[in-house]
Amino acid sequence: MNYLDSLNEPQRQAVMTTDGPVLVIAGAGSGKTRVLTMRIAYLLQQGVKPYNILALTFTNKAAKEMKERIAQIVGPEESQQLWMGTFHSIFAKILRIEADAVGLNRDFTIYDTQDSKNLLKSIIKDMGLDEKEYKLSNVMGAISQAKNDLVSPSMYAQDVNFIERDKSARRPRTTDIYNQYAIRLKKSNSVDFDDLLFYTHILFRDHQDILAKYQQKFKYVLVDEYQDTNKAQYVIIKKLVEAHHNICVVGDDAQSIYSFRGARIENILGLERDYPDLKIFKLEQNYRSTQNIVNAANSLIEKNQGRLKKTVFSQNDEGDKIRICSAHSDTEEAGMIVRDIAMRMRNEGLRPQDFAVLYRTNAQSRAFEDGLRQGRIPYRIYGGLAFYQRKEIKDLLAYFRVAVNHNDSESLKRIINYPARAIGMTTIEKLVSAATSVDVSLWQVMQPGMIEKTGLNGSTQNKIGKFVSMIEMFSMQAENLTAYEFAAEVLSQSGIMKELTEGKNDAEGKDRYDNVNELMNSLQDYSQERVESGDDNHIRSYLEEVALISDMDQDRGDMDQVKLMTIHSSKGLEFNSVYIVGVEDETFPGQQSGYNPKELEEERRLMYVALTRAKDTATISYCLSRFQYGQRKDCHPSRFIADIDSEYIDRPDSMNVDRPRSAFRMEQSPRSSFSYGQRTQPVQNPYARNHTGASSPYSSMRQTSGFRSGGGIQRPPSSFKPATKVSSVDVPSGTYSVGQRVVHETFGRGTILAIEGTMPNTKLKIQFDNLGVKQLLVKFARLRPE
């Protein structure tokens, strides 16, 4: 148990106080994750069974990291049995088991934000409401907020506050939309993200026996990032621990930055009311940053009222002061910072990965992206369209979803005419209205016996009939094939493969093809990893996993690139050298929050988060004017700069506007005319293999979805390839023969038994030495001769 020796006193207390309610206030960089992992390891070593421990995290990434670290201490068998994951994934798991009790079928689909939006849009349209007045984002927000506050449609309808608010916002029918939305979701046997929490609450509220079962099961409950929990999460946790009170929550009120989506800082501030015997431990030693950075951050956050008292300190070097610099325009700001990065790489031997540029809004990334590209410094931007949001990916996933859950109407609508099979808008609208009028799902109205009553003509009915049988065939295959085999089948049988290979041959078509290719690689890795671990490897399980994945989950520190991201995205990460840019009033804090003290405090916490990402140096920059919404506007330094005590601040002359501009003109590259290719790269999914030849399969979840990438001082322009792009089809597909020996990256060595189908759908039947016979599409298999 000597790992406990590596902890400081409050950390050790937080680990070893296993029984009763515990609150751990974990300052930035204070070893929070270490405490959580060791606490769990300690529980296990005390003889607690892993399946009696529930550990809830904010992101999949956090859960995954923690699991790995626990596995290192206690071994993978134990750690695998832990109930550890995000609120959403754990609750989804419980809801699949208890689906009946809340009126769901266990194959329910989880709608993502886009699915929900589509559904809402069609409801608003059906109700004949003006889409201008009933703006999707507003209606969505109202419904989401209601669910997060555990307000059901009928409660909403009866609540004067909601009704009045909607009336004065000129959206009096919001309550009806909410009600209809709930009905349509249920009819589709689907839930949205908020429902995962909402239904879990209903489940525990209405079924004492089920609640008791889980109370018994989860003898120890741990919650990470508690300051970011909303009411639904709060209530569910409270219920779960009612019996034994063995709850340990970890959080930092100073880092609460998500109230705009329902998080309640009061959950952490008011915990003592719920548990009078609460034990509080404060982790105040920061191991990440220099004293200067910690002190500066402290001096800033002190300007907030309503905080839990703590004094974060560092025993690291004093370090450099926080540099504050200014530029005339946003472009110059970027140039100044890029030059600074280049200089420090030269002079201090730092690498691109040592730097991060953090900004308030995604729109600010542009100037830095351009600057870094010109300066030939590799960089990576986070926060684009996530991999699984892309149309071609969603389309394919929609096939999977419909095969598993026929009643998933949003997915069905996506694929009914993709690829084109002459079932047009008019037909779909007729089907939808027929379904609504007899109160059945879209799928049901397409069945023999029902379809005849829709008034559609014979040939259309025929086409629908063919589509229905295809889905039914997929349905059977979903049960019998592995996720990968199933996907390959869908790809070829649906005609998507044909569409992708014969359709557009432009850059976009290529991107789409590459993205589908990526998804297939991901499925291959997934299936293989599941075969090895003995877990279910059907498409159903894969869907469960991808439904709850996001681009926050992936490894971000694996590439030697400057990282560009919003401050929100940077939470939990750390960098040697951090640039906080655009620190101007009306940008940061944003003008929307300027007046409201509550929001101003949240913005200040955001600044605190940004500062405390830095290990060695932090640089704050602002400009005197910037382009926004198509026009130039004057800017002023943010009030947050004045909130930092001046003794921790330095304003180097060399980086300020009053210096002659020639002193920091951009070094022009000799090859400035060279084009770095497309700005937007196809993104990779998290299951993808490392392009740089990693041999580990699914477990090497490396690449990030939802980023753009570029730059590249290390490669000659002629061979430039975005570092994030996986080669699509490097293996010629016509060069195989029966009996040939081949090597597959994941499956290993094998012998070709048969070659089936024609290009581009050539399939190989391969007898693998260790894994038996598999059918692979040549396109995706990435084989090489032995």
Partner DNA sequence: AGGAACGTATAATCG
Partner DNA sequence: ATACGTTCCT
78: left (phi over 0), alpha (psi -120 to 50) or beta: alpha
Burial (CB count within 10 angstroms: exposed 0-12, middle 13-18, buried 19+), residue 9: exposed
Going by C-alpha positions, the residue among 470, 493, 332 that lies closest to residue 402 is 470
- Please, what is the end-to-end C-alpha distance for the chain in angstroms? 47
CB 657 to DNA: min, Å = 23
Residue 219: half-sphere exposure toward Cβ, Cα within 13 Å: 12
Contact 154, 373 (CB under 8 A): no
The DSSP H or E segment spanning 210 is: helix 208-217
Going by C-alpha positions, the residue among 482, 525, 545 that lies closest to residue 687 is 525
- Strand 741-744, strand 783-785: pairing: antiparallel
CB 341 to DNA: min, Å = 21
CB atoms within 10 A of CB 648: 21
Q: Which is nearer to DNA, 630 or 732 (CB)?
A: 630
| 589 cis-preceded (ω within 30 degrees of 0) | yes
CB atoms within 10 A of CB 119: 21
301-336 burial, b at 16+ Cβ within 10 Å, e below that, comes to bebbeeebebebebebeebbbbbbbbbebbbbbbbb
The two three-digit tokens of residue 351, written as one number: 């690498």
In whole angstroms, what is the distance from residue 24 CA to residue 280 CA? Answer: 6
| Residue whose token pair is 């839930």 | 191
CB 258 to DNA: min, Å = 7
In whole angstroms, what is the distance from residue 296 CA to residue 290 CA? Answer: 10
**Interacting residues of 350 by C-beta distance below 8 A, sequence separation 6+:** 344, 576, 577
Q: Which is nearer to DNA, 7 or 66 (CB)?
A: 66
CB 593 to DNA: min, Å = 5
Q: Which is nearer to DNA, 563 or 763 (CB)?
A: 563
Return the sign of the alpha-carbon dihedral for residues 774, 778, 782, 783. Answer: positive
Contact 459, 440 (CB under 8 A): no
- Catalytic residue numbers read 32-33, 224-225, 255, 613
For the chain, give the number of residues.
Answer: 786
In whole angstroms, what is the distance from residue 447 CA to residue 430 CA? Answer: 14
Amino acid (one-letter) located at 760: P
Going by C-alpha positions, the residue among 602, 615, 542 that lies closest to residue 574 is 615
CB 688 to DNA: min, Å = 17
The two three-digit tokens of residue 194, written as one number: 């908020």
Q: Which is nearer to DNA, 10 or 706 (CB)?
A: 706
250-267 burial, b at 16+ Cβ within 10 Å, e below that, comes to bbbbbbbbbbeebbbbbb
Q: Which is nearer to DNA, 172 or 590 (CB)?
A: 590
Q: Which is nearer to DNA, 191 or 283 (CB)?
A: 191
Amino acid (one-letter) located at 575: F
Q: Which is nearer to DNA, 319 or 371 (CB)?
A: 371
Q: Which is nearer to DNA, 299 or 361 (CB)?
A: 361
Q: Which is nearer to DNA, 284 or 599 (CB)?
A: 599
CB atoms within 10 A of CB 665: 10
Contact 678, 355 (CB under 8 A): no
Q: Which is nearer to DNA, 391 or 453 (CB)?
A: 391
How is 556-604 classified by DSSP, letter by letter? -SSSSSEEEEEHHHHTT--EEEEEE---BTBBTTBTTTSS-HHHHHHHH
CB 378 to DNA: min, Å = 21
CB 426 to DNA: min, Å = 10
CB 476 to DNA: min, Å = 27
Q: Which is nearer to DNA, 416 or 488 (CB)?
A: 416
**Residues engaged in binding DNA (CB under 7 A):** 58-61, 86-89, 113, 121, 132, 135, 137, 144, 193-194, 196, 228, 258, 260-261, 360-363, 383, 385, 417, 420, 422, 424-425, 548-553, 565-566, 568-569, 590, 592-593, 599, 602-603, 627, 629-630
27-56 burial, b at 16+ Cβ within 10 Å, e below that, comes to bbbbbbbbbbbbbbbbbbeeebebebbbbb
CB 639 to DNA: min, Å = 15
Q: Which is nearer to DNA, 85 or 335 (CB)?
A: 85
CB 82 to DNA: min, Å = 17
